[in-house]
Homo-oligomer: A and B are copies of this chain.
């Protein structure tokens, strides 16, 4: 089919290498090591971690790093034929995204000699910026080419950095765990892209759009690492000391509560009270998303648990009822259900932040600032995502045809299973060969 030029042999290497070489040139001009001597104006930290020890945040950085590369990567391996792309393209996009994000985030924070001074905290923020792309990737998973996705990475991270600057530094909203600026933003950006890339032929599902037993277990690797390290995500750039401890504690308890409510709701909604893996893989994490904005606020452990409890319910209900409606009525085909894990819980987090601000749970923040931050994040996401989706729709980027969606073999060399070559052999032998598959 001429409309689908899915051969990546030239366009993908050229785009990837061009982006990398441009990035290296920009780094040669603008980026150097932090030496602890520059004036710190990192927006998120009242007290600089690096004054004491430049490596004090390194263990948290590694937790976040694991969430980005193992967590997001394996979470998406639930599809039976799309595991290579899930974990592989996740690595590609994040590896480019962190380089690009560090540049974009810090053009606002250059040193007086015109240099961006890389520190562990800046590496954490760079990793954060890629999370937006990986969330959006979940919405369009299985329906996009690596070239389209590199393009999305470039545009989304740029948009994210503008919105983040606006929300946190211009508006002065508080969003320590980024419910608004990462989760809601990433989800609605991805949903806007998905809307633009709507595929009518997939209205009734696709035979590859499902899991098998072991692919669901691979996905649980992602889920559990995300679940465990989320306290680091929400606290990594909090002020050192007790505010950071508060962010850890709130996230720990919010996640625990959302796990319970996700399990309970899944069983309540399913046939014969059985648990649904999709809910468990995703809605158990909703507490981490929803407590993000309030994580470093004095909401009390029980407040965090309440937020988590509600998030787990909303997220599970969303998977059960809302995702099918979005697909059938609005033309938004959300492969991983990011609306349920990042979208609604992200908005819940933003709303909780407004309430917490009104109740005076953190100094120097106001409900109006918080509301403006949420509105800005949603606005940038929807407009940015729609424009990005339109650009991604251009046929030259190699979008896969409908029948090849959710299938690694269009962009990857996939190992041929033995039996395909041995169809004439006896059945018993086939069984034996397949046993190891």
Q: Mark A residues whose CB is within 8 Å of B.
A: 7-13, 16-17, 19-21, 23-25, 27-28, 31-36, 53-55, 58-60, 62-63, 65-66, 69-70, 73-74, 77, 80-81, 83-84, 87-88, 91-92, 95-96, 98-99, 118-120, 123, 146, 207, 210-214, 216-218, 220-221, 224-225, 227-229, 232, 240-242, 244-246, 248-249, 252-253, 255-257, 259-261, 263-265, 267-268, 270-277, 280, 284, 298, 300-302, 305-306, 309, 411-415, 417-420, 423, 427-428, 430-432, 434-437
Contacts and interface: CB of A to CB of B under 8 A. Distances in A.
A428 B436 CA distance: 17
Contact of A221 (B7, B221, B413): B221
B58 A413 contact: no
A96 B255 CA distance: 10
Given A242-B36, A417-B435, A432-B420, A264 B17 contact: yes
B229 A62 contact: yes
Contact of A273 (B7, B54, B73, B217): B7
A411 B430 CA distance: 24
Number of copies: 3
B272 A9 contact: yes
Chain A contact surface mostly = helix
A284 B89 CA distance: 12
Nearest to A408: B213
Given A260-B95, A261-B17, A300 B28 contact: yes
A260 B20 contact: yes
A120 to B, nearest CB: 7
B432 A417 contact: yes
B411 A24 contact: no
Nearest to A82: B436
A52 to B, nearest CB: 9
A64 B141 CA distance: 32
Nearest to A312: B20
B261 A20 contact: yes
Contacts of A212: 415, 417, 435-437
B436 A80 contact: yes
Contacts of A98: 252, 256
A221 to B, nearest CB: 7
A125 to B, nearest CB: 13
B305 A23 contact: yes
A62 to B, nearest CB: 6
8 contacts: A8-B274, A13-B273, A33-B298, A55-B245, A70-B225, A77-B217, A146-B263, A423-B431
B265 A13 contact: yes
A234 B265 CA distance: 37
A256 B95 contact: yes
Contact of A211 (B23, B249, B284, B415): B415
A427 B432 CA distance: 13
A106 to B, nearest CB: 12
Contact of A272 (B7, B221, B437): B7
Contacts of A33: 242, 245-246, 249, 298, 300-301
> Which of A13, A98, A261, A306 counts the most B-chain CB atoms under 10 A from its CB?
A13
A117 to B, nearest CB: 10
Given A32-B300, A300-B32, A273 B9 contact: yes
- Nearest 3 interchain pairs by C-beta: A9-B273, A417-B435, A8-B273
A260 B19 contact: yes
B59 A62 contact: yes
A10 B275 contact: no
Contacts of A228: 62, 65-66, 69-70
Given A8-B274, A302-B27, A268 B123 contact: no
Contacts of A80: 415, 436-437
A308 to B, nearest CB: 9
Contacts of A284: 91, 95
A284 B16 CA distance: 14
Contacts of A58: 59-60, 248
